[in-house]
Amino acid sequence: MIRRIAIPSNCRRHAKAIEHMPADMPLQKYNSIELSEMPLRFAPDVVFIADLNGRIIFANDNAQRVLGYRLQELQNMTVLDISPGDRLKTYWLRLAQNVTDGQRHLVEIDLITKARQKLPMELNIVKMPNGQLYGACRDITERKQAQQRIHELAFYDLLTKLPNRRLLLDRLRHASAASAHSKKHGAVLFLNLDHFKAFTSNTGDLLLHKIARRLTASIQEGDTVACLGGDVFVVVMESLNVDLKEAAQQAKLFAEKVRSVVNCPHQLNEQTIHTTASIGIAMFIGHLETSETILKQAKAAMEQAKSAGRDTIRFYNHDIQDTLNRRNKLVQELRLAIENRQFQLHYQVQVDSQHQALGAEALLRWQHPERGLLAPGEYIALCEDTGLIVSLGLWVLEQACRQLRCWQAQTRFRDLILAVNVSAKQFHQSDFVAQIRRVLLESAANPAQIKLELTESSMLENIEDTIAKMRELKSLGIRFSMDDFGTGHSSLQYLKRLPLDQIKIDQSFVRDIASDPNDAVIVKAIISMSDALGLSVIAEGVETEEQLHFLNTNGCHVFQGYLFGKALPLDEFETALHQRAAENINPSYFDNPR
């Protein structure tokens, strides 16, 4: 007998219809006779019936059409073949592992067609009395699109497609939470275009589009760029340094990059547009301030940038702003100082156990027009950061070689070895060796009287490059001393590989050598290690007779320090050396040359 079932208008009714079938009805019959005749076959939904293992028993015409499989193909598949992933699996298992008959689930899934197309569906699954599971899917593409549209309208700026204020605040809240956990700073950059109103609306829109794209391309993964409508953009930077000043410097560098990205001419409809931006920066850490407050601070800083003449960057935090202003001023002054030759070399004597002068270390001094003579502590690090050290270091080398050449004509000075400090950035310049060759050639200095002082960290920065350069320079006769030894992380393994001549014990160990047993042990170890490696050893920062005695009795016989003389300008150094020879060694003389 053929059973007639009414055409169901929705899936619940499909299921009801099938519920009337006897549980023991054979599958074949199901498919070939009854179901093929059933109006269910023509139902507008994607309908399938599967056993408890998920094996598909029946799929209606619409399922075959939508999925692109023939019935026979589907009957060799499981429901997970047409909807992979956990969603369907979870509900399927729940129903299969016997929850009561007739229980039903409404769940959103993706169906995957034979052509690998993904279709969002709302699936109604029901467990029928005969144990099988019945599923009816309805296409919800349109609904999804509408949802997506609502989401876009709610969270994105319509013109630029960037996150809007609402999403930005949400991201900022997450960034604050992450910062509370990692203890790292973050920064908010508030950017407003200068004179944007001068553009026509069409050009303005195109410009905003371009800027949005450039900003998106400039940020790092994990950072957010948002558009708060019109010509206001905000960037949230995360995972900056733990130290506020360092973090601010990172934010400043990025803001400068953003500024140049915005300032770079824009090609719009065959027109070249120039624009600038005012940028305000607020730093944040953890939950100290709410997201709204941070945003307000960044905006206030942007307004300060506007009133400072536009095309400018300003920090909300005044201390940071002051520090950066000072730093910027110093960089400008340093550039001028190099141009205007405001630098000079001072010389600090290096002596042996008999207090005979063996040589000197050339130490840089800056004759600042307002602040007087400045020691390198105030500007060397900045010169390294800005790359100015490369030209400054070259000047030092030229000057030192010229001095050696001058001394060659004077008996008292002709054998002095001159130690020159070389910074990592300078040493790792690809043409460093060529520079030295050129300087030697031009000055006609004797390379055997030059000793380059490098720190441990700069030697280890790129060890293969270091070794190659050192070997090449050594073949010219130049010597090497490892400066500030003990403050870095040199392992014996590296030390053995470096073609060094000398190790210079850092003054921090020498200072307390007589009072701190640890320092005494370290210094002894450095001396015996240098012996073992066949290197000479010099102690820097020797200020007292006690220190001198300790070093002498423990095998270090070359010294530099205030006990023998401070770094002096050339003429004073020369006078002191003459007098030292004449008075036949007075160790404290160099402290008071007069």
State the residues that interact with Mg ion by CB under 5 A: 421, 453, 483-484
Cα 280–chain centre separation: 21
By beta-carbon proximity to Mg ion, the closer residue of 194 and 453 is 453
Give the separation between CA 332 and CA 539, rounded to whole angstroms: 36
By beta-carbon proximity to Mg ion, the closer residue of 194 and 361 is 361
Q: What is the dihedral of CA 203, 209, 213, 214, to 10 degrees?
A: 30
> Quick check: 433 binds ligand C2E (CB under 6 A)?
no
Three-state secondary structure string covering 429-454: CCCHHHHHHHHHHHHCCCHHHEEEEE
- Out of Mg ion, ligand C2E, none, which partner does residue 348 contact, by CB within 5 to 8 A per kind? ligand C2E
Q: Which of 347, 361, 346 is nearest to 539 (CA)?
A: 361
Give the separation between CA 359 and CA 452, rounded to whole angstroms: 13
Beta carbon of residue 483, minimum distance to ligand C2E (angstroms, whole number): 5
> Quick check: 513 binds ligand C2E (CB under 6 A)?
no
- Out of Mg ion, ligand C2E, none, which partner does residue 482 contact, by CB within 5 to 8 A per kind? none
- Out of Mg ion, ligand C2E, none, which partner does residue 530 contact, by CB within 5 to 8 A per kind? none
DSSP at 557? -
> Quick check: 375 binds ligand C2E (CB under 6 A)?
yes
> Quick check: 543 binds ligand C2E (CB under 6 A)?
yes
Please identify which residue in 396, 416, 527, 537 interacts with ligand C2E, judged by CB under 6 A: 396
What the block records as the tokens of 25 is 């009805």
Stretch that binds ligand C2E, among 17-25, 127-135, 144-152, 559-567 (CB under 6 A): 559-567
Please identify which residue in 38, 67, 235, 364 interacts with ligand C2E, judged by CB under 6 A: 364
- Out of ligand C2E, Mg ion, none, which partner does residue 234 contact, by CB within 5 to 8 A per kind? none
Give the separation between CA 262 and CA 175, rounded to whole angstroms: 25
Map residue 113 onto helix, strand or coil.
Answer: coil
Burial level of 250, CB count in 10 A (0-12/13-18/19+)? Answer: middle
What the block records as the tokens of 236 is 């949230």
By beta-carbon proximity to ligand C2E, the closer residue of 157 and 540 is 540
- Out of Mg ion, ligand C2E, none, which partner does residue 377 contact, by CB within 5 to 8 A per kind? ligand C2E
Give the separation between CA 147 and CA 161, rounded to whole angstroms: 16
Beta carbon of residue 208, minimum distance to ligand C2E (angstroms, whole number): 47
> Quick check: 484 binds ligand C2E (CB under 6 A)?
yes
> Quick check: 194 binds ligand C2E (CB under 6 A)?
no
Q: What are phi and psi of 513, to 5 degrees?
A: -55, -35
- Which residues, 6 or more positions from 306, have their beta carbon under 8 angstroms from its beta carbon? 192, 194, 278, 312
By beta-carbon proximity to Mg ion, the closer residue of 350 and 421 is 421
Amino acid at 479: R
Map residue 200 onto helix, strand or coil.
Answer: coil
- Out of ligand C2E, Mg ion, none, which partner does residue 541 contact, by CB within 5 to 8 A per kind? ligand C2E
Helix (H) or strand (E) holding 119: strand 118-127
- Out of Mg ion, ligand C2E, none, which partner does residue 49 contact, by CB within 5 to 8 A per kind? none
Beta carbon of residue 577, minimum distance to ligand C2E (angstroms, whole number): 16
Give the separation between CA 136 and CA 134, rounded to whole angstroms: 7
Beta carbon of residue 350, minimum distance to ligand C2E (angstroms, whole number): 10
Please identify which residue in 49, 227, 295, 380 interacts with ligand C2E, judged by CB under 6 A: 380
By beta-carbon proximity to Mg ion, the closer residue of 456 and 483 is 483
Residues that bind ligand C2E (CB under 6 A): 348, 363-364, 375-377, 380, 393, 396, 421-423, 453, 483-484, 507, 540-543, 560-562, 567
